[in-house]
Amino acid sequence: MPLRRLSNELIRLGRDELTTPVLVLPPWISLRADFYKELAEAITSQTGQSVRFDTLRPLGGLWQTLVNKFSDWQIRQINRQVNRKGQAMPAAEVVLTASIARPTSMLAIDRTQAQTPTVFVIGIANEKASLPSWTTPIHLASSPISGVAA
């Protein structure tokens, strides 16, 4: 799916469906800083909003804490690459979170009272994650071997 088409679909879900779009990835795919930057630029050019990627990471025991520490280091590296010095405003922010943010417009009583939020939130989760009801999953890939379920 081309990035412009993906950004259009994410914006449509966020505005029209009043849900937080979530990119659901299989374990064999990891997103690079360039993906975050290009997608954020496409969304920002269309909406005028900055973009935040909520990367869903479970809470848990000792092993999960270590995995989350390593993930935190990776996220800091991605944020450095995405938001180079000298930019007028950050292209995007990638954060680790235990829950994906609810769309701001859902908090309003009706659509006419909803204000345009300053941040457009996109969730990132793996296939096994349990997603909240206010999200819409977008599966970016399936098994690399056709006919095999992940």
Predicted TM-score (pTM) of the model is 0.77
Between the alpha carbon of residue 55 and those of residues 46, 69, 112, the distances in Å are 23, 13, 30
Question: What pLDDT shows up at residue 109?
Answer: 43
Q: How many residues does the chain have?
A: 150
Q: With a cut of 50, list the residues of the chain below it in pLDDT.
A: 106-110, 113, 150
Q: Which residues of 109-129 are buried (b: 16+ CB within 10 A; e: fewer)?
A: eeeeebeebeebbbbbbeeeb
With beta carbons less than 8 A apart as the criterion, state whether 48 and 11 touch.
Answer: no
Per-residue model confidence as pLDDT tens digits over 130-149? 898 999 999 987 655 555 55
Question: What pLDDT shows up at residue 150?
Answer: 46
